[in-house]
Structure 1
């Protein structure tokens, strides 16, 4: 149980800190091994559980935040942050850095990353289209 002085100090701290609202953003996507190298995700393709990505985020005043993400067992990566509303994300650039998969290590799509505006309200996420890697040699069944 709080004493009167402690309760007053806590209430005052909440009042002073409550003037800045928090904002939460999330960027997510998948990394896929494009087995046949056809630049599309098909039944022969599989997710990469060992992909590494870099996410650059620009805040309203031009500050750049640098995040690193790794894919999980389902090939999904996610970056989430709760920050003051004044620092919310404005634009983002997501790019794969590497695939540690033993057979699927070459970039499968022509672009080095995806740039996008982040105009989502707090608590919502932006899903980036899948990044593709391909094997050094295409299997015969792909022809």
Structure 2
């Protein structure tokens, strides 16, 4: 019992020392959408739909030079999200977001302009960066598109 109390007091001391030392937390978020361009016409129309379960990789370099690699999957709205909380001095500096794969059986061909997006991450804590949509196309365009 005495050792548990001692560990609790030590833990509280270390936690309070972190707050007193002035280490400031920073939170960032990156999100985007993955879409199936059914007609392959490079414009989002009523025939197009979002892709649930598409895989996206996000690679970020921090201000201190550390490389962080994230993997995300789209939800039922076709949106993927990557978020991180870290010290202000280690926050993201630049990132690359790129599509990895689509698990939709008809829409697996990556669109020409969807190879990846590089960007500087200069957002303050608590704000997000939105990446342009990644687009997949079907191998065979439906006849109603022609």
Give the C-alpha shift of residue 63 in structure 1.
1.2
TM-score using structure 2 length: 0.88
CA deviations 1:98-125 (Å, max 9, x no partner) are 0010100000133410000111000000
- SS of residue matched to 2:96: strand
Which residue matches 1:50?
Answer: 53
Match of 1:25 in 2: 28
Residue 94 in 1 paired to residue 97 in 2? yes
Alignment of 1:1-143 (within 5 A): 12-18=13-19, 19-143=22-146
Is residue 114–residue 134 contact of structure 2 (8 Å, CA) maintained in 1?
Answer: no
User: 1:90 touches 1:118 (CA, 8 Å); kept in 2?
Assistant: yes
Please list every run of 5 or more consecutive structure 2 residues that lacks an aligned counterpart in the other structure: 1-5
**In 1, Cα distance between the equivalents of 2:93 and 2:70?**
15
How many residue pairs are counted as aligned between the two chains?
139
**Gapped regions of structure 1 (runs ≥ 5):** none
The 3-state SS of whatever aligns with 1:90 is: strand
Deviation at 1:17, TM superposition (A): 0.3
Superposition RMSD on alpha carbons, in Å?
1.8
CA–CA separation in structure 1 for the residues paired with 2:75 and 2:8: 44
Is the Cα contact below 8 Å between 1:109 and 1:131 reproduced in 2?
A: no
> Is contact 1:39-1:109 (8 Å) kept?
no
Q: State the shift of 1:141 in Å.
A: 1.3
The 2-side partners of 1:22 and 1:114 are apart by 27
The alignment's TM-score, normalised by the length of structure 1, stands at 0.90
